[in-house]
Structure 1
Amino acid sequence: MATEEEQLQYFVQKVDKAEKDIERLQSELSALSNPKQLIEEGMASPELEKLRSENQKLQYQRNLLNKYLSEEEKRVRNCALDIRGIIEDVFASAIYAAFPELPNPVVLVVPSAKFADYQCNSAMSISQQRSAVTGTKSNPREVAQLILDHLPETKFFEKVEIAGPGFINIWLDKDFVSSEVTFLLTHGVTPPNVQKKRVVIDFSSPNIAKEMHVGHLRSTIIGESLSRLLEWVGHDVLRINHLGDWGTQFGMLIAHLVDKFPNLLEERPPITDLQAFYKESKVRFDEDEAFKRRAYDCVVKLQAFDPFHYKAWRIIYDISMEVNNEVYKRLEVTLKDRGESFYQERMVKLVKELKEQGITEMDEHGRTVMFVPGFNVPLMITKSDGGFTYDTSDMACIKQRLQEENADWLVYVVGNEQNIHLETVYEAARRLGWADKAKHRIQHVGFGSVLGEDKKKFKSRSGDTVRLRELLDEGIRRVEARLQETERDKDLSPEELEKVKESVAYGCIKYADLSHNRTHDYIFSYDKMLDDRGNTAAYLLYANTRIRSIARSAQVTPEQLSAAAKTMNVDLEHPAEYKLAKCILRYAEVIVRALDDLFLHSVCDYLYELTTTFTEFYDKCYCIEKDKTTGAILKVNMSRLLLCEATALVIAKCFHILGIKALDRM
């Protein structure tokens, strides 16, 4: 098996050879000022054009080999290799060399567990493209053969073969796979190398004075998990909780607060149910005209930062955030609170700036609006009374994130229904010169609704919106009942029991959300999510505790495993060993995909696949041989224990990204 130093030397030699070939060809071409004209005039051989083509191919190959060299150098920086990405580059090199006349030929490499390890499916598309561009007819198998003829030498593949009408099956080299597993064991589960960015991610975003409910569940869970993913690969992440803490409703709340608690500035009002308090004030606002006028007056004074009204607002804010923070603590969610109030002064400046630039206009209702090309509905910058809107705060918000936070990448984890509004804001930011498509990545991470088992919006039995803390409490009760039914609770200490209840309940709620395609609605079912069979957090948590117990059962310490990883090769002779090792190494390409599209169900799918692949391995390959009579350990297969350890390490990292707490015992 080649060492890392030998592989590095191999790439260095390849780069040197490519550079010498390029220098030779360039020296032959440099004396010719216009090669094409010389060929047309008969003063130079058509071979010259072949030299030019060969030069372009070698340039591409040199860039590719330099990338491989860079990949090996990343080892010093503890970065994982994206094997699928490497295969794509190898085949891109072959395709560009074989078909230099084609603009942007398709490079399509996919995992292919059924026929091989990976499969290149480019031949069919290239065959069609070639016919359209050059008029040359060729069947896909001929195209596939040309691709194989131009493959650069690598040590990644055991074999590459054409199958069917032009599919190219790719098998990884076993020594390469073994060395990669060893790298993982000795360096840990390292992230793939990515260009580091300043990311601002906006998620959760409840309204002050309204308790968090099931409608906030998806944004909170998806946003937290994406933040963990982005932070792990090295991005500089700012997690923003864009709170609804400003506007007309706060005049209503303050007026009601003053009436109910005249001495509110001397002692904190004993408000235990903010939801009920909000409903009381809303009834008065709708039915009492005098109260409504007083509420509007309170809004004006609050937006002018009158000390009394601002302090009353702060009381409501603090009580509300104490309740919210308790939910965040239970879900292990971390956020920087930054409500609409933060942008108050910025909104004032924004409105003035847009008016001075002549970008806004007055509509027939006296509202200040801004039309954005490509969108039918304009942004409402101010209401007819001069008040600000959601559009105003969102415009001030995106400007602040781009210009003050210097963000390269903005992520908004907001429901699907806000897509048009957000896209309007994004395009407005580009039109105003705040955002540059070439420099800034701005993404709406949309998601569907949480449905009850009746396939309607999830509600309580009374028909009310389910509060988030009540949903979590019910999860705890269900887990406790399940443990009592199976009598597993009797094997746990009180401390262990609390950990299991929280880990399983919260983990199952998170995983049930994240394992679905986020753009779709999903049905919330405690029974399904707590089932320890199938693709659920309950199953994954239980499987993980079993994997972690194997080394303990073999009486092998973590120190012994660490020493073995440094001194021995991981044996992959049994098909189940090899299959598991290749599955372990796929984590980097799964992470790269999730970073590209920000869909987390692919991480869940991979985690489930890895766990079931491990189960298949464990059923077929003994790790510990014991005396059937005495139970004494006769033999320990250390190589297989290392595969167990590598699996557990990858599962632990996936658990961290998904916000699931692993358990030692269940």
Structure 2
Amino acid sequence: MLKSGGVVQHDPEDASEVEKLVAENGKLNYRINIMKRTASKSDPNGMVNILGKLEELFDSAIKKAFPDIKDFQVVVVSTTPNFGDYQFNGAMSLSKLLKTLGKSLNPREVAAAVQKCVPPNEVIETLDLAGPGFINIKLKASFVQEQLSLLVTRGIRPPCGVEKKRVMVDFSSPNIAKEMHVGHLRSTIIGDSICRLLEFLGHDVLRINHVGDWGTQFGMLLAHLEDRFPNFAEETPPIGDLQSFYKESKIRFDSDADFKKRAYACVVKLQSHDPVYIKGWQAICDVSRREFQKIYDRLDIKIKERGESFYQDLMKKTVMLLEEAGVLKEDEGRKVMFAPGIAVPLTIVKSDGGYTYDTSDMAAIRQRVHDEAADWVVYVVDLGQSGHFETIFACAEFAGWLDRKKTRVEHVGFGVVLGEDRKKFKSRSSETVRLVDLLDEGLRRAKEKLIEKERDKVLTPEELESAQQAVAYGCIKYSDLAHNRNGDYVFSFDKMLEDKGNTAVYLLYAYTRIRSIARTANVTDEQIKKAAADGIPLSHEKEMKLAKLLLRFPETIVRLTFDLCLHPLCEFLYEVSTTFTEFYDVCYCVEKDRTTGQIVHINMDRMALCEATANVMAQCFSLLGLKPIQKM
């Protein structure tokens, strides 16, 4: 600085230096803001969500280029290799927004302005302006190499930047004294996979089994119990076939007026918590629980029972609170509740003073939001109940119990299971298919398939049994999850067990083949990790294509949380498998002498890529509830 006549004058060189410092400060502030947003929720050892990283960079660029635009939703998508790796395509929307602010810029001009403002970073190699305003993004090879190396050396980890929430997932929900059937299949499979996904992301997940363990049907069961096992209060009744027991009691209830009268009296005693009848009720519930657990064990489902009985004492308080809030209306002796904009009300109290499923569902949502302090409540129930849950959520808001800005509640609906005739799935005798029979049939067909492939000649009996279970239960789960849950799907063992295309069998076989590469070459995990730590060149285009796809795993699973549809994960898994085949066909991992068959060279960097692929596939299987095995 120069002083002249007491006035401070700025040297042009100083001004230039100040501008540089301001620019650097801007970059630092950008990075600090990103760190502030993620510091409290980001795992520093987590995997980088590349799509999320790019969205942050473009969000910063838009704010710098067009500071008048607020809260713009950045759109970055993965694209085909012809255009790059990702693409920013929000210029058209930005152009329309700018026009409302009196600024006329066409989409290409908008994209050019955004492109100039993308801050320096370690992710992007090039940004190319294309067409009417698309920005094609190519990743830096060094970034891909570094992230792939971390994937192998550290293993598969949850993505960075996921805010941890307390989540309650309500799924499966069979009825006590009735067998689980094919109608329970989708809720159980979809609900379990959602829980696995959210648990992997680091959320605090409570898996809830809202079983039907209360109500008038227990009156007829208890009355029948009294007749069949009069000493049930002293000795645990040896109820063998609970399904037959239920049918016997139902026939008597429908045909015997005296029995029906006695059944209603038993309901009153149960609801007044008579210790004798509570003991009988518990005995019936215990028989059901044991049968349910056999199914859950076979499918590797973990779930905590919290049935309708849990909310019985809470329902009185629920009604009292709704009355105090003045939201209940009299309707022909009933007390009903309307939600704004919804025509059909909830029946909170029946004309005889009894409660309904509406009452228990209102008690449940209040308990989950208020008492459990859940940040997110998920109901995995068929699409036929969508109107009911829309009303429950709206009434909970109207009562002041639910604030959707603070608590995310959603109904995860699904279509029905169809037979190959595209009608509702039934047994040959036109009865609902029991779930245990379905699983048994899966085991039988899986074994037939393995023997057809002569796997019994190369596997030990124990290995064959493991493969049989992996294929049987895996194909049932995968066939469900690979379809968009919002539609019906056709249940076909023949299609499930195909070993070509996007099926569990094909993918499980593919996984075991990849795992066998290192095993055949006698390469250890330590050797593979050392090779990855030394650097993976990715010099061949098929190597780079596979590596970039594997690094899309974090963004794939984060996006699943937007709508809790799981079929995109199946599509990603299948794409990983087919892309690996492309790589393996042209990039030799193990080179052998053509005459002797002896191994002459092992490409350790490609072995590391094999390991990365297998690890990503294994984690996808885990999220879907499939159990891959090393040999098949």
What is aligned with 1:423? 390
Alpha-carbon distance between aligned partners in 2 of 1:95 and 1:534, rounded to the nearest angstrom: 42
Q: Deviations over 1:388-444 (max 9, x none)?
A: 110111111111112222211111111111112112212222222222222111111
Could you tell me how far 1:255 is from its partner in structure 2?
Answer: 1.1
Residue in 2 that maps onto 1:622: 588
- C-alpha separation between the residues in 1 aligned to 2:264 and 2:19? 75
Does 2:599 align with 1:633?
A: yes
What residue number does 1:542 align with?
509
Maintained 8 Å contact 1:512/1:536: yes
Structure 2 match to 1:214: 182
SS of the residue 1:134 aligns to = coil
Equivalent of 1:575 in 534, 541, 545: 541
CA distance in 2, matches of 1:348, 1:297: 21
TM score, norm. by length of structure 1:
0.88
Q: CA RMSD in A?
A: 2.2
Q: Which residue of 2 aligns with 1:203?
A: 171
CA contact (8 A) 1:88 1:107 kept: yes
Native 8 Å contact 2:478 2:503 kept in 1: yes
Establish whether residue 459 from structure 1 lines up as the match of residue 460 from structure 2: no
Which of 335, 339, 353 pairs up with 1:372? 339
Residues 630 and 444 of structure 1: is their aligned pair in 2 closer, same or farther, counting only changes over 3 Å?
same
**1:103: how far off?**
4.3
Q: Which residue of 2 aligns with 1:409?
A: 376
Q: CA deviation at 1:367?
A: 1.4
| SS of residue in 1 equivalent to 2:213 | coil
Partner of 2:77: 110
AA aligned opposite 2:119: P
CA distance in 2, matches of 1:570, 1:342: 56
Structure-2 separation of matches of 1:416 and 1:258: 39
What pairs with 1:116-265 in structure 2 (closer than 5 Å)?
116-134=84-102, 136=104, 138-193=105-160, 194-265=162-233
Structure 1 residue runs of 5 or longer lacking an equivalent are: 1-16, 25-57
Residue type at the aligned position of 2:22: D
Deviation at 1:106, TM superposition (A): 4.9
Q: CA offset at residue 271 of structure 1?
A: 2.9
Residue of structure 2 equivalent to 1:591: 557
Give SS of 1:195's match: coil
Deviates more, 1:586-595 or 1:554-563: 554-563
Return 164-173 or 430-439, whichever deviates more: 430-439
For the pair 1:21 / 2:22, whether they are aligned, the reply is yes
Point out the more displaced range, 138-147 or 194-203. 138-147
**1:610 equivalent in structure 2:** 576
The partner residue of 1:519 within 486, 495, 511 is 486
CA contact (8 A) 2:327 2:399 kept: no
Shift of 1:384: 1.4
Letter in 1 for 2:466: K
Residue 325 of structure 1 corresponds to: 293
Structure 1 residue identity aligned to 2:46:
C
Contact (CA 8 Å) 2:553, 2:616: kept in 1 or not?
yes
Is the 8 Å Cα contact of residues 45 and 157 (structure 2) preserved in structure 1?
A: yes
Given that 2:30 and 2:60 are in contact with CA atoms closer than 8 Å, whether structure 1 keeps it comes out as no
Q: What SS class does the counterpart of residue 661 from structure 1 fall into?
A: coil
- Tell me what 1:363 maps to: 331
Q: Give the corresponding residue for 1:384.
A: 351
> Partners of 2:255 and 2:115 in 1: how far apart?
78
Q: Given the superposition, is the C-alpha separation of residues 456 and 18 from structure 1 closer, same or farther in structure 2, using an over 3 Å criterion?
A: farther
Deviation at 1:659, TM superposition (A): 0.7
Q: Distance in 1 between matches of 2:67 and 2:609?
A: 43
The percentage of aligned residue pairs carrying the same residue is: 57
Distance 1:75 1:202 in 2: 27
Q: Deviation at 1:20?
A: 5.7
Secondary structure at 1:77's aligned position in 2? Answer: coil
For the residue of structure 1 that corresponds to 2:101, the secondary structure is helix
Deviations 1:53-76 (A, max 9, x none): xxxxx59x8345541697799997
Q: Secondary structure at 2:195's aligned position in 1?
A: helix
Q: Are the aligned partners of 1:302 and 1:309 in contact in 2 as well (CA < 8 Å)?
A: yes
1:505 aligns to what? 472
Q: Which amino acid aligns with 1:314?
A: Q
Which of 531, 545, 553 is the matching residue for 2:498? 531
What CA distance in whole angstroms lies between the structure 2 residues aligned with 1:76 and 1:369? 48
Aligned residue for 2:314? 346
Q: Is the CA contact 2:455–2:464 (under 8 Å) kept in the aligned structure 1?
A: no
Residue 273 of structure 1 aligns with an amino acid whose one-letter code is: D
Match of 1:52 in 2: none
| 1:126 Cα offset (Å) | 2.3
Q: Which sections of structure 2, spanning at least 5 residues, go unmatched?
A: 1-17
Q: Distance in 2 between matches of 1:408 and 1:385?
A: 36
Q: Does 2:244 align with 1:276?
A: yes
Shift in Å, 1:266: 4.1
What letter is aligned with 2:200? W
Which deviations, in whole Å up to 9, do the C-alpha atoms of 1:621-666 show, x marking residues without a partner? 0001001111111111000000111111111111111111011111
1-side partners of 2:370 and 2:167: how far apart? 13
Aligned-partner Cα distance in 1 for 2:228–2:623: 45
CA distance in 2, matches of 1:588, 1:101: 32
Amino acid at match of 1:476: L
Deviation per CA, 1:218-256, whole angstroms, max 9, x where unpaired? 111111111111111111111110010000111111112
Q: Is this contact kept in 1: 2:346–2:358, CA < 8 A?
A: yes
- Preserved CA contact (<8 Å) 1:369 1:382: yes
Could you tell me how far 1:263 is from its partner in structure 2? 3.1
Deviation string, structure 1 residues 309-353 (Cα, Å, up to 9, x no partner): 111111110111111000000000011111111111111222233
